[in-house]
Chains A and B, each alone.
Chain A
C-alpha cells in the first residue's frame, strides 16, 4: 500500500532563509509525486510534480523538489523564504492502477510559518 510521511507538522523559518519541507513515500511501483500548497481559506494549488526523467523538478514561486528513489524521498525546497510562502504544504503520491484509476494519497501536511 502506498503512504506518504511528511516530517514536521509545523516548520518556522525567517524571511530569506532556506525552506526545506520533507516528504517520504512508500510505493511498490514507480510513483508520480506532487506537492500542493494551500493558502488560508483557499483550495489546493499544484506547486510541482514529478513524472519520469529529470529528478530535480522546478515548480511555481521558486520552489523545487528532488526525487531520490534510493531514499524514497521528494523533499521540497526554496532558497529564500518570503512572507507570502506562509501556507500549508501537502505531499502526495499516485500511480496508475490497472484499469487506469489514479488515486492521490496525501501526507498529513506541513504548515510553514515565515517570520520577519
Chain B
C-alpha cells in the first residue's frame, strides 16, 4: 500500500516561472491537504480539497497560488510567477475522510514533500 506520493521531490525555478507540484493521495483517500514550511518556520495550512471541490482555502495566498484535485489524477498545487519568498517545502497530506465532527477525527498521512527553490 503505497503512501502519499509527491513529485517532484526537488524543483528549481527562476523568478517569474511557474511551479507545478503534484500529490497522489494514498489509495482510498479522497481528501487532500497542502501545507507549506518556510525556512526556519513551522508548517502552515494552505488548502483542503476533495475530489473536484475546494473545501477550505483560507491559508492560500490571494494571488498566484491555486490548487485543484480533479476527478482523475493527482492533486496539483500551482504557483504562477514565482518569487524568492516562495522557496519552501510544500507538503501534501491525505485522509480517508475529512471533517465529520468530533466523532470522525482522521489521521492525516503526509507525503515526503517537494522542496521548491526559486533562484
Chain A bound to chain B: no
